Amino acid sequence: MKQDVNSLLEDMLQHIEKTILPKTQEAGQEQTCRICGCTWEHGCPGGCWWVEPDLCSACVDVAYPEGKP
């Protein structure tokens, strides 16, 4: 089970590095959440991760109160 979780986390990090980070770096901007303003280096208290290029996991319910379309 622990190996499965580690593998999943590694896959998620690779996805972020390949898709989300290059978009923000090319634009010369630091990746920032559109709701709370957290960044890669200054995440939410308790931690968060990117679910969209400008939305962190802690703010998904705020951005999509009826569930993600």
Asked whether residue 15 is domain-assigned, the answer is yes
Count of domains forming the chain: 1
Note down the domain range covering 31.
2-63
pTM score over 0.85: no
Q: Are 51 and 62 contacting, i.e. CB atoms less than 8 angstroms apart?
A: no
Asked whether residue 68 is domain-assigned, the answer is no
Integer Cα distance of 36 and 60 in angstroms:
11
Decide if pLDDT at 7 tops 90: no
Asked whether residue 69 is domain-assigned, the answer is no
Integer Cα distance of 58 and 27 in angstroms:
24
* The token pair that represents 7 in the structure block: 């593998």
Burial (CB < 10 A; 0-12, 13-18, 19+), residue 43, is middle
* The token pair that represents 14 in the structure block: 């690779």
Asked whether residue 26 is domain-assigned, the answer is yes
Q: What is the pLDDT of residues 12-63, one digit of tens each?
A: 777 777 776 656 556 667 899 999 999 988 999 999 999 998 999 999 999 9
Q: What is the pLDDT of residue 37?
A: 95
